[in-house]
């Protein structure tokens, strides 16, 4: 189970981030970082985290630009040996294909897994339709974009607990990463589509992204138990 858990580091403070890796490392299989750490510290922060025990880094920068620019971003991520990185599927087939080709060429030892983002978990039906002008419902839109991403060579996609089952049916054995994992009655913060860990796994998710529930916990082992992730086996 440990390998399925990704801890999200939601801080820009390097000392705090390093402490999170040291405290949480024994309980998780990877750490997710984004703009909060990479903008002030650069991609060299990846090496710092790896030095204190982060086995695998999920670089969540959600690349979305013209194909050549996204390819350059993937190249730099690959140079730092990231395990997984994200890009917006809405960038289109040319952008996705450029990213896939660059991942093949730039990888040092093992090429990074490219994971597509279709609809952010902070977006609800109202925002999607009335503000973004997408006339498909969230699940229909996510399924369509997820299929496009996999057809263009992506290794998998991101989706909330609510769409896992439908997207699993649509993309076969490709990877599904699920954020927004919360225990019952926990604050949803800025995410609209959240859910529980056991449902996500049973519906077909491969990896669970868990942030404050773990990083704010005084006892990470108990936090995982509260999520239902220690009912069947110890984290190991």
Find out whether 118 and 141 touch, Cβ atoms under 8 Å.
yes
Q: What angle do CA 77, 78, 79 make, to 5 degrees?
A: 90
Tokens 């057809």 locate to 151
32 carries an active-site annotation: no
- Per the residue annotation, which of 4, 32, 62, 147 is the catalytic one? 62
Residues paired with residue 3 on neighbouring β-strands, in sequence order: none
Angstrom distance (rounded) from CA 39 to CA 42: 6
Angstrom distance (rounded) from CA 94 to CA 100: 10
**E-assigned strand segments in 10-130:** 30-33, 57-63, 84-88, 113-117
Among all residues, which ones are annotated catalytic? 62
């Amino acid at each position: 189970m440990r390998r399925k858990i990704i801890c999200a580091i939601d801080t820009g403070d390097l000392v705090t981030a390093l402490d999170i890796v040291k405290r949480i490392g024994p309980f998780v299989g990877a750490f997710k970082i984004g703009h909060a750490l990479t903008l002030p510290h650069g991609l060299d922060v990846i090496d710092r985290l790896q030095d204190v025990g982060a086995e695998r880094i999920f670089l969540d920068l959600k690349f979305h630009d013209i194909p050549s620019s996204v390819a350059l971003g993937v190249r730099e991520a690959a140079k730092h040996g990231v395990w997984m990185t994200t890009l917006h599927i809405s960038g289109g087939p040319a952008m996705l294909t450029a990213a896939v080709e660059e991942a093949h060429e730039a990888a040092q030892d093992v090429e990074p897994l490219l994971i597509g983002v279709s609809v952010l978990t902070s977006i609800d039906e109202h925002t999607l339709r009335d503000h973004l002008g997408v006339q498909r419902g969230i699940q229909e839109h996510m399924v369509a974009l997820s299929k496009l991403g996999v057809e263009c060579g992506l290794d998998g996609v991101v989706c909330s607990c609510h769409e896992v089952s439908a997207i699993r049916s649509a993309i076969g054995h490709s990877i599904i990463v699920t954020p927004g994992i919360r225990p019952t009655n926990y604050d949803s913060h800025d995410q609209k589509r959240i859910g529980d860990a056991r449902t996500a796994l049973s519906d077909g998710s491969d990896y669970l992204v868990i942030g404050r529930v773990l990083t704010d916990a005084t006892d990470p082992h108990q936090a995982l138990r509260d999520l239902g992730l220690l009912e069947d086996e110890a984290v190991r």
